[in-house]
Amino acid sequence: MSVTTNNFKTGMTIIYDDKMWTIVDFQHVKPGKGGAFVRTKLKEIKSGRVVDITFRAGEKMEDVHVENKRMQYLYNDGDTYHLMDTSSYEQIEIPADFIGDKAQWLKENDEVEVLIAGGEMIGIEPAMFVELEVTETDPGFKGDTVQGGTKPATLQSGAIIQVPMFVETGDTLRVDTRDGRYVTRV
């Protein structure tokens, strides 16, 4: 299926230069002189690199249908992450380098969205908010919270985030996986 630059949306997946790209950002520009164009920021799905590309207005691209499949993260054995399809109970193995930084938000038995485009797995998305236990942090002292300061805390998944001074080892926190930000204590 083909799509023109007039129909671009953030998050859309297209084929450009025989590679799959996700549109990170785009801007329609109509200069006073000359033809209109679309300035885009594209992320290559395989390598993860982000590039700026300019297209003429109305230029056609091939659109890629992206399917989300809900799967349960079971465990990892170092190099491989094991996921299970929650409807068919079929298990798949995914290399650790494919998951990349998103591995820090995975907790055993949590559900994730596996993104599939053109019959090929292109990525995973953890839940927007995850609850993880603090395994290590410096103790907070009385009076430290006056300025609303933060301190680093290591979570059970290995992620290190900034937390308020009152958070202690053993607390369970809700974390926003989009930016790694502390939300609340649960």
pLDDT grade, residue 43 (50/70/90)? confident
> Are both 133 and 110 inside the same structural domain?
no
> Are both 72 and 122 inside the same structural domain?
yes
pLDDT of residue 160: 92
pLDDT at 1 exceeding the cut of 80: no
Residue 7 to residue 16: CA distance in whole angstroms? 15
Strand segments, DSSP code E, in 30-180 are 37-44, 50-56, 60-63, 66-76, 80-85, 91-95, 111-117, 120-126, 129-137, 150-155, 160-164, 172-176
Residue 27 to residue 39: CA distance in whole angstroms? 5
> Are both 144 and 118 inside the same structural domain?
no
* Amino acid at site 24: V
pLDDT at 164 exceeding the cut of 60: yes
What's the chain's average pLDDT?
Answer: 87
pLDDT grade, residue 36 (50/70/90)? very high
State which of 11, 40, 63 marks the end of a domain.
63
Give the CA distances from residue 172 to residues 102, 110, 124, 136, 179, in Å, rounded to whole numbers and listed in that order: 19, 15, 24, 12, 18
Residue 40's Cβ-count burial label (10 Å; 0-12, 13-18, 19+) is: buried
> Alpha-carbon dihedral of residues 101, 104, 105, 110, nearest 10 degrees?
110
pLDDT at 145 exceeding the cut of 60: no
- CATH classification at residue 117: 2.40.50.140
pLDDT of residue 64: 85
Per the structure, the complete domain to which residue 111 belongs is given by: 66-126
pLDDT at 20 exceeding the cut of 90: no
Q: What is the pLDDT of residues 75-101, one digit of tens each?
A: 988 889 999 998 899 999 988 888 878
**Rg of the Cα atoms in the chain:** 21
> Are both 71 and 57 inside the same structural domain?
no
> Are both 55 and 34 inside the same structural domain?
yes
> Are both 98 and 116 inside the same structural domain?
yes
> Are both 72 and 118 inside the same structural domain?
yes
Section 35-60 average pLDDT: 89
> Which has more pLDDT, 144 or 95?
95
Section 133-159 average pLDDT: 80
